[in-house]
Amino acid sequence: MKPDNTEKRNQLNSGKIILFSLFSVFFKIGAFTWGGGYVMLPLIRNEVIQKRNWITMEEFIDGISIAQSAPGAIAVNTATFIGNKVAGKKGAIIAVLGTILPSYISIMVIATFFLEFREMTVVQNFFKGATPAVLALIISAIIDIGKQSLKKYYNVIISVGLLFLLLYFQLHPILIIIIAGTLGLFIKEQT
Amino acid sequence: MIILQLFLSFIQIGLFAFGGGYATLPLMEKEIVLSQQWLTHAEFLDVITISQLTPGPIGINAATFTGYKIAGYCGGAVATFAFCLPSVIIVLLLMNFLKKHGTNPQINKVVKGIRPAVITLMVAAAYSIITGGGITDLKGIIIAIVSFIVLQTHKMNPIIVLVLAGIVGIIIY
């Protein structure tokens, strides 16, 4: 009986530990997601794939596809995906809470104490310096993910064509996803 | 009553906000400024500026701040919760669907077909930072290039890169 209990307790503990680390990892990611959800992707790669091996790069790419196919913030959707993969629905909720809590806290602090926050030159200059780094982060995420998902030459063509539709014809992002999914149906010998 | 109305409005925004943060803002403006008239256009612009200068995803920040402006701390929490609810449910449903039917060759083709679009949307996000005034001068270009090199060759922690770039910004601007 005793070993059974210990095992059960260990399972419970490791369950709690994984939930706690999910929360802390996504809290950290949420706090450093500046200027749009995509900044989060290199952070996730670093924390979730490289450091902790919670999911594979392949699963990560599927996760981003799902995050973009669903409405709402990319950051929240990606957190839901990873949380659910790692620890089920509970994990999803914990990861989302971790992602949004830094936002909630900082907005409340700013709204309560210093609405003139955005007038502060130090803050403005900090973000003036950080924004180009945000761009660098997104570009390095594009390269990392592109290496995986643009292996086939026709995918490069599709991606460029879609970019043209998006930027030149101003098609809605969800239409871009729908067109790509439909095109996928007609492509043979996908691996 | 305003809390319930806030909840319903943000559920609706969350449900139709496809395409990430920047696609969410026009939708939010339509509902909050035009339909409900909770905020003026100028107040909503404040919301956007604060949302960009605060850690966290822009859509979430905007929801929190709008909710707070309309109904205080509770309003902020309700708006944020309502905004996230539809997307969390939809992502879980999609994952469930793929778990059951992911081996179906047709569905597999659709999933793989979406992959190049993922890159397209990310390139568009990078493009909007450049055209949206994220990089205004040579200093900005240099920060971007150095950050990129450090990220790619030294595999430096992205959080450290962001903070260092911000500190460099304070020093040089």
Q: What is the pLDDT of residues A2-12, one digit of tens each?
A: 445 555 555 55
Give the tens place of pLDDT for each residue, A84-142: 999 999 999 999 999 999 989 988 888 887 667 667 788 888 888 988 998 998 898 88
Task: Pick from A46, A50, A76 the residue to mutate for testing the B interface (most B CBs within 10 Å).
Answer: A76
C-alpha angle A119-A123-A126 in degrees, rounded to nearest 5: 145
Q: Read out DSSP for B144-165?
A: HHHHHHHHHHS---HHHHHHHH
Q: Determine, for residues A36 and B158 on separate chains, whether the beta-carbon distance falls below 8 Å.
A: no
Q: Taking residues A149-171, what's their average pLDDT? A: 91
Q: Which two tokens stand for residue A64?
A: 């981003």
In a domain, A42, yes or no: yes
Q: Could you tell me the mean pLDDT of each successive run of 10 residues in chain B, 173 residues long?
A: 93 85 78 90 81 82 91 94 96 94 87 89 84 84 94 83 92 91
Tally of CB atoms within 10 A around A31: 19
Return the half-sphere exposure (C-beta side, CA atoms, 13 A cut-off) of residue B87.
34
In a domain, A88, yes or no: yes
A 8-27 residues with CB < 8 A to B: none
How far is B136 from A166, CA to CA, in rounded Å?
Answer: 24
**Buried/exposed code over A75-107 (b: 16+ C-beta within 10 A; e: otherwise):** bbbbbbbbbbbbbeeebbbbbbbbbbbbbbbbb
State the total domains in chain A.
1
In a domain, A92, yes or no: yes
The CA distance from B59 to the nearest CA of chain A, in Å, is 6
Short-list A91, A123, A152, A70, CA closest to B109? A152
Q: What is the DSSP letter of A116?
A: G
Give ipTM to 2 decimals. Answer: 0.84
| Chain A residue with minimum CA distance to B157 | A46
- Give the N- to C-terminal CA distance of chain B in Å, as an integer: 47
CB proximity A88 to B under 8 Å: no
